[in-house]
Structure 1
């Protein structure tokens, strides 16, 4: 029951699904469930993608199909992570390191935040449109690994604010849990690769997602000296976008 309540809390925090659980929910440590929710979101948008492909399986429809797929993911999360990526871009655009957190906390979107959002969405749509095989597998895996990158950053790096929307994520979270999730995601990819007789692709997919999820968290930490709730969202969005681009090149 405790795990189910935590999962419900994670669904409420990370998505806009119309849930109405009974009682008070504890949001501490819900980041542990973020990769699972990512896999569910990736699977949901992949189902839409598959359905649209059956409805109109023509090459000229692939870009609109990919756009609608990506937009559904944005709808499910309510733009939670994209908003963080936009705020992070605005903060990094400031040359004075002392003002970056102040700019990131500003609810007004600046030019760099808008450009970051456009770049992320364009990369996702055009990269997905360039991928013809295993789209369901790829979307579910990337969306899960992107949130593992967020989970690792929460555990590995300091939180830059005394309080904030991401501070409570570090509570009730342990290093072994982070790596257990990574192992489970790796095993899942390898098992799917075995079923589809695409073991080499499974290894490549895992390496790309793991590498980018790790690097994005490390890069933002190097730029800012730690993380905030906004950079957690930025890790998710940029890992998704760049992973799709890397897979498209394969």
Structure 2
């Protein structure tokens, strides 16, 4: 059991990040979405470590924040940002029947490009307004974003017979599979900064809104949930 869990955790890191990890044919990719919030905590910890190092060197907070966000994209290979861009292009189409077709197009449209700029700006500016506890906040924000993705996978129908998110949906059978990482993130948030538990509400709301707009989810919307939850939670934390 422990070996299987360890294999899935390593597989989740391999799938969701560009970290130079050892590749093994024995990795178990089925069901890795249930570990994605833990991947988020890891990503946030790495970015937080970078931020701490830059602060120690005397770099101003706005410049640090911009580098942090750039590293955020680099670690994930832009996986979720690409999904947010494709989702924006699809939602911009007035004809609902063409939305999935547009989202599947690899070419980035105007709305996708604007969405990427808005997300990166929101994250950079909001992060620059947060002076303390930045390492913990980065960890929680990245964790809640991926927990929202897990909830969407478990709760909503998948709109395409195949696709980059189909194997996630096949492996996650119940919303109860999101409970273990919910408890981890709740405990972490309450210990560090209680206001961060609002990330759970934001994560669920973003997924519900996209489901209402499209009637289900795709691999692209999973990425959009991650990105918008992260951005909106960072913005919210500037007021708490």
TM bucket normalised to smaller:
over 0.9
TM-fit CA distance, 1:73: 1.0
Normalising by structure 1, what TM-score? 0.92
CA distance in 2 between counterparts of 1:171 and 1:4 reads 21
Tell me if the contact between 1:8 and 1:21 (Cα under 8 Å) persists in the aligned partners: no
Tell me if the contact between 2:7 and 2:26 (Cα under 8 Å) persists in the aligned partners: no
CA distance in 2 between counterparts of 1:231 and 1:122 reads 20
Cα-to-partner distance string for 1:136-175 (whole Å, 9 max, x where unaligned): 1111001001100000000000000001100111233232
Q: Which runs of 5+ in 2 are unaligned?
A: none
- The aligned residue for residue 148 of structure 2 is 149
TM-fit CA distance, 1:101: 0.3
- The aligned residue for residue 232 of structure 1 is 222
- The aligned residue for residue 198 of structure 1 is none
9-18 or 106-115: bigger deviation: 9-18
Normalising by structure 2, what TM-score? 0.96
- The aligned residue for residue 15 of structure 1 is 17
- The aligned residue for residue 28 of structure 1 is 30
Runs of 4+ in 1 over 3 A off after TM superposition: none
- The aligned residue for residue 125 of structure 2 is 126
Cα-to-partner distance string for 1:202-232 (whole Å, 9 max, x where unaligned): 332112x111101000000000000000000
- The aligned residue for residue 82 of structure 1 is 81
Tell me if the contact between 1:152 and 1:178 (Cα under 8 Å) persists in the aligned partners: yes
Tell me if the contact between 1:11 and 1:37 (Cα under 8 Å) persists in the aligned partners: yes
1:73-222 equivalences in 2 (<5 Å): 73-173=72-172, 174-190=174-190, 192-193=191-192, 202-207=193-198, 209-222=199-212
- The aligned residue for residue 71 of structure 2 is 72
Matched position secondary structure for 1:107: coil
Tell me if the contact between 1:90 and 1:104 (Cα under 8 Å) persists in the aligned partners: yes
TM-fit CA distance, 1:248: 0.9
Aligned pairs, how many?
A: 237
CA distance in 1 between counterparts of 2:46 and 2:91 reads 33
TM-fit CA distance, 1:120: 0.1
